Structure 1
Amino acid sequence: MAFQCQRDCYMKEFVTCVVSCCPAELKQEVNGKKETLKGFNVKLQDTILFPEGGGQPDDHGLIGDIPVLRVTRQGPEALHFVVTPLEEGQEVHVKVDWERRFDHMQQHSGQHLITALADTMFGYKTTSWDLGRQRSTIELDTPCVKPTQLQELEEIINEKIRGHIPVTVQLLSIDDPAVEKVRSRGLPEDHAGPIRIIDIEGIDANMCCGTHVSNLSQLQVIKLLGTEKGKKNKTNLIFLAGNRVLKYAEKSYSTERSMVSLLKTGADEHVEAVDKLQKSVKLLQKFFQKEIMFFSSNRKEGDNEFMNIIANEINTEETLVFLTVGEEKGPGLFLLAGPSGAVTQMGPQVLELLQGKGAGKNGRFQGKANSMARRAEVEALLKEHCKHHTSQEE
């Protein structure tokens, strides 16, 4: 059978009944640690919450006011993991996390479009794909994709999106001759019910269990970020679709503004400014071979990525770098980078003074600060450490 979420990908709320509720466990990772959560697997008469499959992650949502933490498929059934039991036979109101769902729809339909055109235009077959939290990756069966091919592919992709091309769903019996004509990487062993075909009119027909947009125009835009070397002579194509492109542009602009404020140059001059900064630091290091240099900076705006960009451009093997983001005396973010011994020794003390939470490894210690009120004390402490280290070396 097809679930309601597959029959109507745009349905946000749904009323159904509880078929069963059995004790279960959910293994998950929280802050890098594996935990086992005790709860219940709930089967519903039908569901608008998509169970993971076809490379697409599961939906999140609510059954009544109870959060659904995971949805998995078991043969023709969907299992909804919750921490509160539900009574068998009771009528329930199900609501999907629409922002997450629509994001998955955009990325998945985007993958189908990219895969079909990469094959048609260049003969590059897709062997797998990954819908990541921030970006998605398609594994192409080719050792490389030329920059000119990437540009041409992106132009055609977005031309098709502007063409307002319909995307439809067909349900076919497994012995239907039409099944043989569609693209597929095979059915799962526990498949049950009709074959579901996602048809992008005039472009692609593909077996798929996932949720999709009903028209390519709803993808808005697709940006091919680039390629990376894959495994066994394959290439990973990295892309963003729809709202992710807008979020990426917003984040990039925020980082650019922070860089402008820090480097005191226009965006087009950032590479040159950082290059000069690197050369200046290297020059100073020649004169102070035995001394741990100290560099500190605070900006009101920025994020962890911004701080790591700055730290990456400084030789932290011989420079202790202390960066913070946030308002004076308010909460914020911090990064301590430098020689691993110094960072390991000073990181916990910085954490205590900033009343924060964080962790470190490989010469970096970063986290959240509840209060920046004692930032000056942290600077003084780190400067003293650098002087003490120098005197010991001499």
Structure 2
Amino acid sequence: MVFECQRDSFKTEFDTKVVSCKPAELETLSDGKKEKLKGYEVIVEDTVLFPEGGGQPDDRGTMNGIDVLRITRQGADAIHFVQTPLDVGTEVHQVVDWKRRFDNMQQHTGQHLVTAIADNMYGYKTTSWAFGQEKCSIELDTPKMTDEQVAIIEDAANEAIRKCTPVIPKCYEADDKELDGIRGRGLPDDHVGLVRVITIEGIDSNMCCGTHVYNLSQLQVIKILGVEKGKKNKTNLIYLTGNRVLNYLGKCYNTEKALCTALKCSPEQHVDMANKLQKNIREALKSKTSLLREVAKYEAEQYKNKTDREEILSIHRKDGDNEYMNIIANEIGQENGVIFASVGNDKGAGLFLLSGPADLISEAGPKIAEILDGKGAGKNGRYQGKANNLKKRKDAEALLRSSLQKNKSEKE
């Protein structure tokens, strides 16, 4: 079936009638978590709200002021998911979320245009395309593309836009001979009714159910951002068109201004300044690591030289690392005392290390990891791991002291 949204992609409002309404659930993602919404699947006589298909996302909009949260197609029907029931026979007024619709139209027609040019010029077939939140990509059946090829495709696409090339939708009977040789990936198994073809005059004809602009001038511009290595010896071409180019340019400009302020230099100097800062950071980290090694050796030596030293060295360093703890443990040795070292946020996450008699550490290690809300592993008198709650160091230290006393008593 060809819906009203496909007959006139620029139509934003439409009156129709409810054919059926039945309870249903919709699985959605909310803050990265799956959530099931209770609602209703509504079928109407015809719809101006596009159901997902052909790689294009579905529309959003309203029916009698009720939000339509998902539109899918089943055979000749478009299924509208809403959370308020609508009685069969009710007249409904549909309104399209035009901002979303027009963006979908621009990106989809842009994909047809780039796909056709890549095929016509280089024989690179499109095997799939992805509609992203900010960028779109076209998977081409070629292991690589040169910068020159990318530039030529972009130039050809923008030349077609400047020529105001018409984009013409036309419908055919499924057995019409006119469909022979028209590009497409085949019809869905549940397809019903007429077959719709989108023709970019003089460039391409393609079977497609999606919504499209009337004229390539409505794309405004095509920008190919680059190519990436795809799966199975293919290449992904990343592109923007229409309002997305303007939005992307605006974001880039704001980022450029922020970098000018942060780096205190002109845009032309950003890369050199970033490289310089990275070099300085690497040198600073190298110096820090060297100093931490010296500090670890010094603290171990201080402990070993004490005549009245405690049986347990409990030490925490916020800016320490795993190497820092291991140097202390190695310098002191298991025979010279029990070590409980930790690094990181003293009220949050970090690392910990235990060193001492093998029987003591093997027993106390897992218990201390549990107190610190972490996990670890070890052998031969050493146990170390990650902690999520170093705020409980005192509790862990108390358990270690208790375990040490118990261990000594058992040996006596």
| Shorter-normalised TM range | 0.7 to 0.9
* Matched letter for residue 348 of structure 2: Q
Distance 1:86 1:278, change over 3 A: same
- AA aligned to 1:7 is R
The 2-side partners of 1:286 and 1:222 are apart by 46
What is the DSSP-based 3-state SS (H/G/I as helix, E as strand, rest coil) of the residue aligned with 1:285? Answer: helix
2:216 matched residue in structure 1: 216
Map of 1:373 onto structure 2: none
Deviation sequence 1:103-148 (CA, Å, 0-9, x none): 0000000000000000011110001111111111100000001001
Q: Within 5 Å, which residues of 2 pair with 1:231-380?
A: 231-289=231-289, 342=345, 345=348
Give the 4+ runs in structure 1 shifted more than 4 A: 340-344
Give 1:317 deviation, angstroms: 11
CA distance in 2, matches of 1:239, 1:317: 45
- The equivalences for 1:60-139 within 5 A come to 60-139=60-139
How far is 1:341 from its partner? 5.5
CA offsets, 1:172-217, max 9 Å, x none?
0111111012101111100000110001011000000000000000
State the shift of 1:280 in Å.
Answer: 1.2
**Distance of 2:38 and 2:347 partners within structure 1:** 36
**Aligned in 2, Cα 1:284/1:30: closer, same or farther, shift over 3 Å?**
same
Q: Give the superposed CA RMSD.
A: 2.0
Go from structure 1 to structure 2 and tell me whether the alpha carbon gap of 1:77 and 1:254 turns closer, same or farther (over 3 Å shift). Answer: same
Inter-partner Cα distance in structure 2 for 1:146 and 1:64: 52
1:287 deviates by: 2.1
**Structure 1: where are the runs of 5+ without partners?**
293-315, 319-339, 348-384, 386-394
- Paired position in structure 1 for 2:159: 159
Q: Which residue of 1 aligns with 2:378?
A: none
The answer on whether the counterparts of 2:320 and 2:344 sit within 8 Å (CA) in structure 1 is: no
Matched, 1:182 2:182: yes
Give the secondary structure class of the aligned counterpart of 2:348: helix
Distance change >3 Å, CA 14–CA 201, structure 1 → 2: same
Q: Deviations over 1:66-118 (max 9, x none)?
A: 10000000100000000111111111110000000000000000000000000
Task: State how far apart, in whole Å, the 2-side matches of 1:317 and 1:240 are.
Answer: 45
| Alpha carbons of structure 1 residues 317 and 158: separation in structure 2 relative to 1, 3 Å | farther
1:275-309 alpha-carbon deviations (Å, 9 max, x no partner): 111111122222221679xxxxxxxxxxxxxxxxx
Question: Is the partner of 1:114 in helix, strand or coil?
Answer: helix
Secondary structure of the 2:73 match is strand
Give the letter aligned to residue 345 of structure 1: G
* Residue identity opposite 1:145 in structure 2: M
Deviation digits for residues 16-60 of structure 1, max 9, x if unmatched?
Answer: 111111000001111111111110000111100000000000000
Aligned position for 2:301: none
State which structure, 1 or 2, has the greater radius of gyration over its C-alpha atoms.
2
Q: Deviations over 1:198-238 (max 9, x none)?
A: 01011000000000000000000010011111111100001
How far apart in 1 are the matches of 2:149 and 2:348? 50
Displacement after TM superposition at 1:346 (Å): 6.5
Q: Report the Cα distance in structure 1 between the residues aligned to 2:43 and 2:132, rounded to whole angstroms.
A: 27
Match of 1:296 in 2: none
Distance change in 2, residues 1:344/1:188 (3 Å): farther
SS in 2 for 1:181: coil
Once residues 230 and 278 of structure 2 are traced to their aligned partners in structure 1, the CA distance between those partners, rounded to angstroms, is 32
Summarize the Cα distance change of 1:45–1:270 in structure 2 as closer, same or farther, 3 Å threshold: same
Q: How far apart are the structure 2 equivalents of 1:179 and 1:165?
A: 22
**Letter of the structure 2 residue corresponding to residue 271 of structure 1:** V
Once residues 257 and 248 of structure 1 are traced to their aligned partners in structure 2, the CA distance between those partners, rounded to angstroms, is 14
Q: Which of the two has greater helix per residue?
A: 2
The match for 1:142 is: 142
**Kindly tell me: are residues 208 and 345 of structure 1, through their superposed partners in 2, closer, same or farther at Cα, counting changes over 3 Å?**
same
| SS in structure 1 at match of 2:289 | coil
Rounded Cα–Cα distance in structure 1 between residues aligned with 2:112 and 2:76: 24
Aligned to 1:199: 199
Return the alpha-carbon distance in structure 1 between the equivalents of residues 220 and 320 of structure 2. 45
SS at match of 1:46: coil
Q: How many residues align?
A: 304
Separation of aligned partners in 1, 2:346 and 2:195: 57
Q: What is the match of residue 29 of structure 1?
A: 29
Measured in 2, the distance between the counterparts of 1:115 and 1:202 equals 14
Amino acid at match of 1:250: G
2:17 counterpart residue number: 17
Query: TM-score, normalised on structure 1?
Result: 0.74
TM-score, normalization by structure 2: 0.71
SS in 1 for 2:88: coil
Q: Which moved more, 1:213-222 or 1:277-286?
A: 277-286
Listed as ranges, the gaps of 5+ residues in structure 2 are: 293-318, 322-342, 351-390, 392-412
